[in-house]
């Protein structure tokens, strides 16, 4: 299933991203805050690119492949039709940034290549203590290294890459050919599972590696009726961390694994699970790391040592395989897996442990945006497994938590209010029992207008928490639930489309965007009427963008309406931050259509809304 299965291709290198940072602070969404602090990258463009990436290894059903021309091939983003974009869901939820429109090209040494586009993917299981601390305060632990910030963070993305038939020609690589033959097709395209882990991101402008980080990833086949944004196998939970732990106790994060019965292998993905010595560096020294199976009796069976080296991290994306005997394979069908380190001076040696129940579940699409009109609905699916297999007929429950500064999992200081006055009762959620393939459907329904948190922060953020009624959970008001079991939902405020808006209204819609995304203001100042008029009228689409259909209301001219009418998942969509509701965008379109039908005077009449 997915990237765990052969044929498997591993790659690694650097990633580049430059999100704007002005919109990271909720106080910047106050109209009275006309001079927001810039943070480290006010002119960021929200681009996302792979840099200096190459295929480092490949695995088939017999193990590592040597001599295949895929090894050493370049893996790059094409920046076509535009550079991929990355954007947060909301200032109160910055842990699910989504990558849109990432086109990937793999080029062999002979010049042959394949090109595909990744479905939008959201960050998962991000943790901010993935680097061993390098200092400690007396009386308490600092719990981050001396550099701080995003350098300590680590997280993963999983999605599918769609390769059109014409973009995957025959190549000299047998492993690529095998992958093409193995994976499924959908809508005329080959689907390839992709999972990548990012860490060591440098966000200090004075550093030579500014806006760069480390990336390792894996490509593998896609099969019918499997999750596409989650591994879908068995999981080990990380040992608990306490703020009373000494500074040199490393932290850990949950790890997926698969028991491959046909190949008699235990396959572990540790890329996002073991603390690093330094940002983007080697894993901490755990001594010998041993895989152990414990039966309910309990009987403890050692399975063998696990390779968690830096070489395996960079060369195999930290996916390691362990051969299993028939007896070990049989034990693992009912036993719980754990990883135990030989070092005894850095906390509990059992660093990763599978729960006895072996029931796992995760939401597929976790960031969702909805209009605040009563009756608006949206859905997402949840994959539920039991002992690594689809769990049919399982009923989960849902709990809705409106997000404020004190909500566990919110990405703002606790002093920020968050909630709108009419937050309660605006959103409901239901979930079906899982079907024969393990999928349950969550349906979200807007009952009333949630309002706005400020005049510049639209709508309300909700955490829709999935939970198993047969399990006891920590208090969610104190401890955040697992990230892959939370659907983050923005319900925009109800907004009636104005078919005859004034310039003052249009200017007012764009003022927060220009303030919070300064780069755009440097390109086209949407709050200047003369500039807006020029770019809403020009150019004719056919002259610049080719033979494309007219946009909303029959509009077929103007750069502004062109970019604002792109598909939401298109990397060219504007606003890049994706925080204007559809009805506000349509109000802008009506203004443009009206002005194009009766062109305004060229004289600027700038007014403040």
Confidence of residue 27 (pLDDT cuts 50, 70, 90): very high
Confidence of residue 508 (pLDDT cuts 50, 70, 90): very high
> Do 403 and 540 fall within a single domain?
no
The end-to-end CA distance of the chain, in Å, is 54
User: H or E element: which one contains 329?
Assistant: helix 326-332
pLDDT confidence of residue 143 = 53
Q: Is residue 154 within 8 Å of residue 127, measured between CB atoms?
A: yes
> Do 338 and 472 fall within a single domain?
no
Q: Considering the domain boundaries, does residue 179 fall inside one? A: yes
Identify the domain boundary among 304, 332, 353: 353
Q: Considering the domain boundaries, does residue 609 fall inside one? A: no
DSSP character at residue 563: H
534 pLDDT above the threshold of 60 = yes
> Do 587 and 467 fall within a single domain?
no
- The candidate with the shortest Cα–Cα distance to 23, out of 120, 117, 97, is 97
Number of structural domains the chain divides into: 3
608 pLDDT above the threshold of 50 = no
Q: Considering the domain boundaries, does residue 43 fall inside one? A: yes
> Do 333 and 314 fall within a single domain?
yes
d(CA 186, CA 223): 11
Out of 148-152, 229-233, 322-326, 419-423, which region has the weakest mean confidence (pLDDT)? Answer: 148-152
pLDDT confidence of residue 140 = 47
pLDDT confidence of residue 133 = 84
Give the pLDDT mean for 294-317: 96
% residues pLDDT > 90 (the chain):
90
Confidence of residue 241 (pLDDT cuts 50, 70, 90): confident
User: H or E element: which one contains 23?
Assistant: none
Q: Is residue 285 within 8 Å of residue 292, measured between CB atoms?
A: no
User: H or E element: which one contains 154?
Assistant: strand 154-164
> Do 218 and 294 fall within a single domain?
yes
> Do 173 and 58 fall within a single domain?
yes
> Do 473 and 516 fall within a single domain?
no
Tell me how crowded residue 37 is: count the other CB atoms within 10 A of its CB: 12
Tens of pLDDT, residue by residue over 273-301, are: 999 999 999 999 999 999 999 998 899 99
Identify the domain boundary among 327, 353, 379: 353
Contacts of 178 (CB under 8 A, 6+ apart): 7, 60
Q: Considering the domain boundaries, does residue 562 fall inside one? A: yes
pLDDT confidence of residue 144 = 53
> Do 252 and 395 fall within a single domain?
no
Q: Is residue 136 within 8 Å of residue 528, measured between CB atoms?
A: no
Cα-based angle 14, 15, 20 (whole degrees, multiple of 5)? 145
> Do 467 and 575 fall within a single domain?
no
φ and ψ of 502, to 5 deg: -85, 165
564 pLDDT above the threshold of 90 = yes
pLDDT confidence of residue 286 = 99
Return the structure tokens found at 218.
């894996």
Contacts of 137 (CB under 8 A, 6+ apart): none
Q: Considering the domain boundaries, does residue 607 fall inside one? A: no
% residues pLDDT > 70 (the chain):
96
> Do 207 and 138 fall within a single domain?
yes
Q: Considering the domain boundaries, does residue 497 fall inside one? A: no
Tell me the β-bridge partners of 235: 256
Confidence of residue 601 (pLDDT cuts 50, 70, 90): low
> Do 529 and 400 fall within a single domain?
no
> Do 329 and 367 fall within a single domain?
no
Give the pLDDT mean for 503-507: 98
Q: Considering the domain boundaries, does residue 423 fall inside one? A: yes
What does each C-alpha distance from 114 to 77, 79, 110, 358 come to in angstroms? 12, 15, 12, 38
Longest dimension (CA), the chain: 84
Collapsing DSSP states into helix, strand and coil, what is residue 158? strand
What does each C-alpha distance from 14 to 30, 84, 270, 452, 504 come to in angstroms? 36, 15, 19, 39, 45
Give the pLDDT mean for 139-167: 81
303 pLDDT above the threshold of 50 = yes
For residue 363, the domain's CATH number is 2.60.40.10
pLDDT confidence of residue 243 = 75
Tens of pLDDT, residue by residue over 193-219, are: 999 999 999 999 999 999 999 999 999
Identify the domain boundary among 459, 491, 523: 491
Tell me how crowded residue 585 is: count the other CB atoms within 10 A of its CB: 18
Give the pLDDT mean for 508-528: 95
114 pLDDT above the threshold of 60 = yes
d(CA 43, CA 238): 38
Question: What residues make up the domain containing 94?
Answer: 2-30+39-353
Residue by residue, what is the 3-state secondary structure of 569-587? Answer: CCCCCCCCCCCCCHHHHHH
pLDDT confidence of residue 137 = 56
Q: Is residue 351 within 8 Å of residue 252, measured between CB atoms?
A: yes
606 pLDDT above the threshold of 60 = no
331 pLDDT above the threshold of 90 = yes
Compute the chain's Rg from CA coordinates: 25
Collapsing DSSP states into helix, strand and coil, what is residue 8? strand
Q: Considering the domain boundaries, does residue 606 fall inside one? A: no
How high does pLDDT run on average in the chain?
A: 94
d(CA 35, CA 29): 11
604 pLDDT above the threshold of 60 = no
């Amino acid at each position: 299933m997915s990237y765990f299965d052969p044929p498997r291709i591993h790659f690694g290198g650097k990633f580049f991203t430059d999100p704007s940072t002005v919109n990271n602070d909720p106080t910047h969404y106050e109209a009275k805050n006309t001079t927001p602090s810039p943070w480290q990258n006010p002119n960021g463009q929200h681009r996302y690119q792979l840099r200096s990436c190459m295929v480092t290894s490949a695995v088939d059903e017999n193990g590592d492949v040597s001599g295949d021309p895929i090894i050493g091939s370049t893996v790059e983003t094409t920046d076509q039709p535009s550079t991929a974009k990355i954007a947060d869901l909301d200032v109160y939820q910055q842990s699910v940034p989504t990558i849109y429109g990432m086109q990937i090209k793999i080029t062999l040494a002979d010049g042959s290549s394949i090109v595909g586009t990744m479905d939008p993917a959201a960050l998962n299981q991000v943790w901010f203590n993935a680097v061993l601390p390098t200092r400690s305060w007396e009386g308490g632990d600092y719990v981050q290294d001396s550099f701080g910030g995003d350098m300590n963070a680590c997280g993963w993305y999983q999605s599918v890459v769609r390769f059109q038939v014409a973009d995957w020609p025959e190549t000299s690589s047998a492993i690529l050919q095998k992958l093409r033959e193995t994976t499924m097709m959908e809508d005329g395209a080959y689907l390839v599972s992709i999972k990548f882990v990012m860490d060591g991101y440098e966000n200090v402008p004075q550093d030579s590696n500014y806006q760069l980080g480390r990336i390792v990833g894996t490509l593998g086949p896609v099969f019918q009726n499997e999750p596409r944004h989650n591994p879908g196998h068995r999981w080990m939970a990380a040992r608990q961390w306490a703020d009373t732990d000494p500074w040199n106790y490393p932290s850990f994060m949950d790890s997926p694994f698969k028991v491959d019965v046909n190949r008699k292998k235990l396959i572990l993905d540790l890329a996002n699970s073991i603390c690093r010595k330094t940002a983007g560096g080697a894993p901490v020294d755990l001594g010998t790391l041993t895989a152990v199976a414990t039966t309910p009796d309990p009987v403890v069976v050692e399975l063998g040592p696990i390779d968690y080296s830096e070489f395996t991290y960079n060369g195999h994306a930290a996916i390691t395989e362990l051969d299993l005997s028939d007896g070990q394979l049989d034990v693992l069908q009912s036993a719980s897996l754990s990883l135990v380190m030989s070092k005894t001076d850095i906390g509990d040696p059992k660093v990763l442990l599978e729960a006895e129940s072996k029931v796992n579940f995760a939401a597929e699409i976790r960031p969702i945006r909805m209009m605040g009109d009563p009756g608006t609905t949206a859905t997402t699916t949840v994959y539920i497994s039991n002992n690594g297999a689809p769990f049919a007929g399982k009923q989960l429950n849902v709990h809705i938590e409106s997000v404020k500064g004190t909500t566990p999992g919110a990405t703002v200081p606790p002093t920020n209010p968050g909630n709108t006055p009419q937050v309660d009762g605006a959103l409901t959620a239901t979930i079906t029992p899982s079907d024969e393939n393990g999928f349950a459907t969550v349906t979200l329904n807007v009952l009333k207008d949630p309002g706005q948190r400020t005049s510049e922060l639209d709508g309300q953020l909700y955490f829709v928490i999935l939970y198993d009624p047969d399990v006891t959970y920590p208090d969610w008001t104190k401890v955040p639930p697992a990230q892959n079991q939370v659907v983050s939902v923005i319900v925009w405020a109800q907004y009636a489309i104005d078919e005859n808006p004034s310039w003052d209204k249009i200017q007012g819609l764009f003022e927060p965007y220009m303030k919070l995304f300064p780069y755009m203001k440097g390109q086209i100042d949407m709050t200047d009427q003369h500039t807006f008029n020029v770019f809403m009228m020009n150019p004719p689409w056919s002259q610049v963008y080719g033979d494309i259909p007219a946009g909303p209301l029959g509009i077929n001219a103007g750069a502004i309406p062109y970019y604002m009418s792109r598909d939401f998942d298109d990397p060219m969509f504007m606003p890049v931050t994706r925080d204007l509701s559809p009805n506000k965008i349509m109000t802008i379109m009506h203004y443009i259509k009206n002005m194009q039908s009766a062109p305004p005077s060229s004289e600027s009449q700038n007014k403040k809304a």
